[in-house]
Chain A
Amino acid sequence: MDQNMIPLFVAIPLGIAFIIPMVSRKLKWAPDVFANLAMLALVTIAFMTLGRMDTIIYSMGGWKTPLGIDLRLDGLSRMMLIVINVVGLAATMFSVQYMRLYTSKLRYYTLFLFMVAGMNGVVLTGDMFNLFVFMEIAAIASYALVGFGCEHEELEASFKYMVLGSVASALVLIGIAFTYALTGTLNMAHVATVLAGAKMNTPLIFVLALFITGFGLKAALVPFHAWLPDAHPSAPAPISAMLSGVLIKAIGVYVIARLLFNVFGMSPQMLVILRTLGLISMVAGALLSIGQWDMKRLFAYSSISQVGYIILGLGIPTDLTYLGVIGALYHLMNHSVFKSLLFLNSGAVEYATGTRDLKKLGGLNKQMPVTGATSLVGSMSIAGIPPFNGFWSKLIIVIACVQAGYYGLALAAVLVSILTLAILLKVQKNAFFESAQAAMGRIQRAPVLMAAAMVLLAVLCLAMAFIVITGLDTPMIVRPAADALINGPFTLPPAGAG
């Protein structure tokens, strides 16, 4: 892994997004092929980053750190890059046949690749304003994609999402302005150095409040979650998978973790805030999702609940073993896989039957064996049934709660997990197991590429459980990511390095 390959994570999707509209007026097959090849290339180089485990810093344009913008590849960025691009590949594979329901594949793939470029940029960048720019690229593309169908509900959801997203971005920008006023720099390592040893004073608390509110809105933590259950179900299914699976984590949870642990330095008060937000999101998300009959809306509420687990894990005080952070990051990875899988399942159901109302569905297991089986895998993973991956990450979070002495939180985590099981059993029973209803009519199976994307994610659900079995001390991807957070505020690279 050469350091000069780092910009490719942003350059490939941006470049292909530019090429697709140019060539696909004549070549009707071009958008599908180009987008899938781009995602395949991104997955390949994402896994190539695992070759070197140290922190790699790339200075954009050759300008060194104080003047230019850094791209910073460390353990956490590696994990996020792999998650984003693997889920992205599954989503593009699924889109090839699914997006025939919609009009313009050309614009769809262009926006999709913009979103991927934005997210890759967010997890790589080492500069706070640059982070804002990449975040806006991803966010604007996602606003447009939520409203892609241009029907009543989709436009309404898109507008709601856009207003709240703009407010969130505005808060983040005010936070960035104050950070610059306080420290005189926006490079994350420089900010961390300037703030090292500084007391928690009022302006700093104000900045942190702005960032937590802004990125909490993007991550849909519970007091700020109102847009998510509208926006995620309204998007086309592969986009729902990307939004719920990756976007809320890449531009929400990841940034909160990065800023709090690596830039501003973690303090006990912040941990309390994270635990509280996590607990509320976890419980409220699960309770709200029980009553839903729209399959995708149910999954969207359950996303809020699962993000609550991640934030709760991050908020557990760190000791020598820092199990809470490990569990949180592991759960982040797992959730992005099984939640994307479930959204793709709902897309396949909608493609075949034209509805996603659980009251109208039933008995799909006979006609759609692949969708049924993979959705069972996804449901069991999210509900935390061993041996699937969701069980292990939730177990680690619960153990961390108990170790730190938060028995109430541990109990809440277990109870919400049982609640999640009930919710997902409702989906399974109503959509896949009950005898077919007369209205269902003739249903064809999911087309081959859609099935392949779902099988890929289902296999990952099982395979990622082995990260635990290979020994908790050396999980390949999760441990370095947690180390990157635990090592505390960034330090400046020695002069002349890089």
Chain B
Amino acid sequence: MIYSLCFVLIAIGIYGAVTKKNVVKIVISIAIMEYGINLLLILIGYRAGGNAPIMEKGMEKGVGLAEFIATSVDPLPQALVLTSIVISLGVLALMVAICIRLYERYGTFDITEMRRLKG
């Protein structure tokens, strides 16, 4: 159920990126899409009612370890999401910079008026 919400977010992002005319709105749509994917990644490692994957004293072996494995959430997707957030930040910053330059050149944010390339 909650997975489908992620896909709704991703779909909204793709829809916006395809249909919007304003470059800034396109950038926002792409950001929404990336949030949807990050949520999806987090959900994959999530376990309902799980603990934080931090090992404490007394959990190194035996029953403690088994319990730790059984109850903690998967930490790997969280690490992946951190990386992917940083990457999407880089892309977003570059996109916004290009948008500013586009505005300087064309005097508009409307993508239908930026049509010098064709063929």
Contacts and interface: CB of A to CB of B under 8 A. Distances in A.
B76 interface: yes
B87 A156 contact: no
B119 A229 contact: yes
Interface stretch (A70-78, A144-152, A423-431, A456-464): A144-152
B77 A170 contact: no
A32 interface: no
Interface stretch (A160-168, A267-275, A482-490): A160-168
A159 interface: yes
Given A151-B105, A159-B102, A177-B40, A140 B117 contact: no
Contacts of A297: 119
Interface string B68-106: 000000001100100110010011001100110110011
Contact of B101 (A155, A162, A180, A234): A155
Nearest to B34: A170
B30 A152 contact: no
A173 B37 contact: yes
B10 A170 contact: yes
A292 B119 CA distance: 7
B119 A133 contact: no
Contact of A159 (B23, B33, B84): B23
B30 A167 contact: yes
Contacts of B65: none
Nearest to B23: A159
B76 A180 contact: yes
A155 B114 CA distance: 10
Interface in A15-73: none
Given A159-B95, A167-B17, A181-B44, A152 B37 contact: no
B17 A156 contact: no
Contacts of A170: 10, 13, 30, 33-34, 37
Interface of B: 10, 13-14, 17, 23, 26, 30, 33-34, 37, 40-41, 44, 76-77, 80, 83-84, 87, 90-91, 94-95, 98-99, 101-102, 105-106, 114, 116-117, 119
A297 B116 CA distance: 14
A284 to B, nearest CB: 14
Contacts of B26: 163
A393 interface: no
A234 B34 CA distance: 27
A144 B94 contact: yes
A155 B111 CA distance: 12
B59 to A, nearest CB: 18
A163 B30 contact: yes
Contacts of A152: 105-106, 114, 116
A159 B119 CA distance: 17
A143 interface: yes
A150 B101 contact: yes
Contact of A155 (B41, B77, B91, B98): B98
Interface of A: 129, 132-133, 136, 140, 143-144, 147, 150-153, 155-160, 162-163, 166-167, 169-170, 173-174, 176-177, 180-181, 186, 229-230, 234, 291-292, 294, 297
Contacts of B34: 166, 170
- Report whether over half of chain A's contact residues are helix, strand or loop; otherwise say mixed: helix
Contacts of B105: 151-152, 155
Contact of B117 (A153, A162, A166): A153
A140 B119 contact: no
B12 to A, nearest CB: 13
Contacts of B106: 152
Contacts of A129: 80, 83
A488 to B, nearest CB: 27
B41 A156 contact: no
Contacts of B90: 136, 140
A294 B119 CA distance: 10
A162 B95 contact: yes
A133 B87 contact: yes
Contacts of A162: 91, 94-95, 98
Nearest to B100: A155
Contacts of B76: 180, 186
A156 B33 CA distance: 22
Contact of B87 (A136, A167, A229): A136
Contacts of B33: 166-167, 170
B29 to A, nearest CB: 9
Contacts of A294: 119
Nearest to B40: A177
Contacts of B95: 159, 162-163, 166
Given A155-B101, A291-B119, 5 more contacts: A129-B80, A133-B83, A144-B94, A155-B98, A181-B44
B77 A180 contact: yes
Given A152-B105, A180-B76, A174 B94 contact: no
Contacts of A186: 76
Given A129-B80, A180-B44, A156 B94 contact: no
4 smallest A-B Cβ distances: which pairs?
Answer: A230-B117, A181-B44, A136-B87, A156-B114
A162 B84 CA distance: 16
Nearest to A135: B87
